[in-house]
Every structure is written in structure tokens, then in C-alpha cells.
Structure 1
């Protein structure tokens, strides 16, 4: 386990920024700037903005395939909320769930890109399903009368974490993709949610209400030991792992407004990267670890920004308002 984390807030983070280089990579995000939710693609420096979907329906929750060639997303263009997959340029959108009358949500790719996990109520309650990337062979993973949702695939592909209220409160469970080996990770009567696996698959971070505020906890998956890592009195939002697994970025409210923080898991030091009077939240680390994308109200409305991992070089990249916090970096090609 990591060393115990003590609360310490640093307003500036002394690490190398981009230097002479501009941020690299691409991001997808959702915006209703044309009147309904559509999916957009943009370069990390703000150039090359492209609208990928063009439908009068709501297109949302985009998720990159691991090789960055396909995007799964949620849409109601067929009258029901279904999961579609399209190419990275927006072409060939295909309904892969094809279940009239059902509600499908939260698509998540397997690490090899061959399957998708998602939520579906096709069996009259919310369950976690898996299907092939083309929609074939749908399989009910959870098979329980309770509400099961928000699936997250481990980077190794051997585990799926999800949130369930089968214990009369929301808990985090982990199981194999075939539903076997079910384990309650959070084990508490408080609200628990937003699980995220570490890149090496040894740890799982999640949010919990057990400390009186919304705190961040870490679970050592080998021994199921839990550790309180946020160690602050504030409302802490969902965490995102750095690519090397040594840090977490998340939003919290040390001065009333939301700020983007970075937590060093080895030292326990927390750094405020944004330190701005606006609300800043939903940080996502770039695949190369050099940049962090986040949503901010600075400048009016909700817009997508990118900054260096030390908080420098903040730049708006969305070219307008974004809807919710549904942005994601394009994975680097293997």
C-alpha cells in the first residue's frame, strides 16, 4: 500500500510544463451549441475542431476504443437510448445494442477493443452487459434484481468494476467479465461510487461519503485493504490516474469553488493546479502524461481547457460551450 497521506495543500506545483512544445493529442467532447447534444473532435492545441455527429437526436457519452480508431456513444436517434459505434472521423455510425424499448448507457471498451461493457434495462432492471464490438453475443454479467451500472474495465481486461445498490446502498463491486468472483470492494453503509483502476491494475480509487464529506479512498485489490487518501474536509470529485500510476487528479472545493488538484501518492502532497476563482473540474490526464484537460466556467459558460501537467499554459480548446463533463483523450496507437 501507499504511505499514509497527510493533508497538505500547495498552491503551485513545481514540475516541468510543455516547454517549447505545444500540447499533443486529440480530444472528443459533447456540446449542444447547435441546439442538441453532438460529439466533436479537436486537437489538444485547439485547432482542427470537427463535428463528428449530425443528428437531431441527443448524441452523448463518447468513449474511444483502445486503438483510437472507433468511438462508442449513446444516442436516442432510433427512439430509444441505444449504444452506437462509429469510426473516429464520424463515419459509419452503427447501432450495436439493437434492443427496442430498452435503455442502454455508459459504454466502456475492453482493453483489446473486442468487447464493450454497458448498462441495460432490457431485463426490466439495470444490469451490466457485455457484447462483442459489433453488438453480437450480449451477455448479462450481473444477473441481479438490484440496480447495477457504471461498468469500468480493468486495463488488464480480467476485471470489471461496477456500482450496485444490492446492499440497499450504493457499493462498488468487482468481478470477472463472466460475472464470477464477485467481491464487494467498498463494504460500507455509506454511498460509494466512481471506481477507477490504476494502470497496473493493482489499485482501485473510488469516492465515498463515509467521512462526512465525499472522500477519495484507495483499495489494494490483492488484500482488499482500504486507505483514505484525500484527507481533506472538502467535497472531492471523481479521480483520474496519471499514465504512470503515481498521481491522481481530481476536483475539490478548498475555497468554495471547484479547483483541479493533483495528489502525489508517494508523498501525499496535494497541489492546486488551477487556483482560479472560476469553477474548474473533470480533469483528464493525456496519454503521454504531459497535459490535463478540464472543464471550467472561466470566460462564461462551461468550456473545455487544456493545461500542462504542472498547471501552466492554460488554453481553451472547445471553441464554445461544452455539455456536461464528457470529454476524453484519444488513446495513443499501440
Structure 2
């Protein structure tokens, strides 16, 4: 068992080198991000606010963490260095930004609430490029996960009470169904680094 603390224990994400685990804990009365060594010997609090902070994901170099915080009421994306400090809010689109995933090409895919639905948006961290939506289709598009090629994203699509998985080309917006239909719902995809 990696972590067993009173309260919430969720959102664990390994650093790129596999040595540190970023996770969400609530044992100290607030929901904060913590860093823990993979062997479980050291636990360090990374954030410190009255807001809920969750869904950590690591930068490709392992020096920063993107996460979701509701410190401005609606959930938005922030970045903090692994050494701590003040989190910086990212320039996202939509009224809410959740479920970040950071690619090896230094791009962050996330679910952006636009109107009443979520879509998948991408923010390039290398330059001053604003966030852009990569899907122009009905329904809710959530839980993005990057392919190792840094171009394709697997995500969950929900419409009519049913959930299925799609692959979207982040350059063209072209959608390809992966699995869905029938009597099952599919959710929370994660792309393995094994398959290219």
C-alpha cells in the first residue's frame, strides 16, 4: 500500500522518473497536494490554501505539477514547482478547467466547460499560445490522456446517458471511436507508454 491516511487519498501520479508520487490528501483538514517518495518514507505538503486542490499531473521534466484548484470558486488549472511556492493560474478557456494531462511535448490537455458541456482543450506550455478547443462535437468530452506520440488524445465521450472512448487528433480535431455502445459505459482512459 502506497498511502493510507485518514480522509481523502486520491489522484496519485508518479513523476516521470518514477521516484515521487504527487497525490491529494485531506487528513490535515483541507484538501491539498502532497509529494511522497515512491518507497513511502517521506511525505511533504506542496500546497497550502483553503481551496480544494486535486488532479495532479507532472511536467515532462518533472520539475512542475499542474493541478485543479477551486480557489476562485470555479475549478481552474494551476502550475506549481515541485519545490513549492505560489501556484500560477494557467490561461484556460471555458468557465471550468479540469482533468489536466501533460504531454512529453509540453502541452496540457484538459476538459473545459463551454456553455453547458465539456470539451477537450489544449494549452501549449512552450510559448504564449492561447488554449484552444480540439473537439467540435456534441456531448461531454472529458478525462483526456495523451498518446506517447504527443499528438493523439484518448478521452471519454458522454451523450444520452452512455459513455464511450474516442481518440482525437489534437492537430486536426478528427475523432475516431475506440470502444463504446452496447450496455456498458467506458470511462477514465489512460494511455500506456508501451503502445505507440
- TM-score scaled by length of structure 1: 0.53
Partner of 1:38: none
The question of whether the paired residues in 2 share the 8 Å contact of 1:164 and 1:170 is answered with: yes
Distance 1:198 1:258 in 2: 23
How far off its partner does 1:163 sit?
A: 1.1
Residues 1:268 and 1:229: Cα distance change in structure 2 (over 3 Å): farther
Distance, in Å, in 2 between the alignment partners of 1:261 and 1:232 is: 8
Q: Is residue 316 from structure 1 mapped to residue 173 from structure 2 by the alignment?
A: no
Per-residue displacement from partner, 1:133-156 (whole Å, max 9, x unpaired)? xxxxxxxx55x4444333222111
Contact 1:217–1:230 under 8 Å retained in 2? no
The aligned residue for residue 108 of structure 2 is 248
Distance change in 2, residues 1:145/1:233 (3 Å) = same
The separation in 2 between residues aligned to 1:169 and 1:277, in whole angstroms, is 36
SS in 1 for 2:57: strand
Q: Is 1:273 matched up with 2:134?
A: yes
Instruction: Give the direction of change, closer, same or farther, for the CA distance of 1:234–1:286 in structure 2 (3 Å limit).
Output: same
Compute the displacement of 1:300 (Å): 7.3
Partners of 1:311 and 1:333 in 2: CA distance:
21
**Rg: which structure is higher?**
1
Query: 1:209 corresponds to which residue?
Result: 70
- Count of residues in Structure 1 that have an aligned counterpart in Structure 2: 194
Contact 1:274 1:311 in 2 (8 A): no
Distance 1:149 1:319 in 2: 27
Query: Which segments of 5 or more consecutive residues in structure 2 lack a partner in the other structure?
Result: none
The 5 Å alignment of 1:160-309 reads 160-232=21-93, 234-244=95-105, 246-265=106-125, 266-297=127-158, 301-309=162-170
Relative to the length of structure 2, the TM-score reads 0.86
Structure 1 stretches of 4+ moved >6 Å: none
The answer to whether 1:152 aligns with 2:3 is no
Rounded Cα–Cα distance in structure 1 between residues aligned with 2:7 and 2:185: 30
Unaligned runs of 5+ in 1: 1-128, 131-140
Identify which of structures 1 and 2 has the higher relative contact order when contacts are C-alpha pairs closer than 8 Å and 6+ apart: 1
TM-superposed deviation, 1:328: 2.2
- CA deviations 1:260-311 (Å, max 9, x no partner) are 1001122141111112232111121111112111122358722211121224
Task: Give the Cα–Cα distance (whole angstroms) in 1 for the partners of residues 104 and 120 of structure 2.
Answer: 17
**Residue in structure 2 matched with residue 32 of structure 1 by the alignment:** none
Give the SS at the match of 1:205.
Answer: strand
| Larger strand proportion of the pair | 2
Distance across 1 between alignment mates of 2:138 and 2:165: 16
| Conserved? CA contact 2:56–2:68, under 8 Å | yes
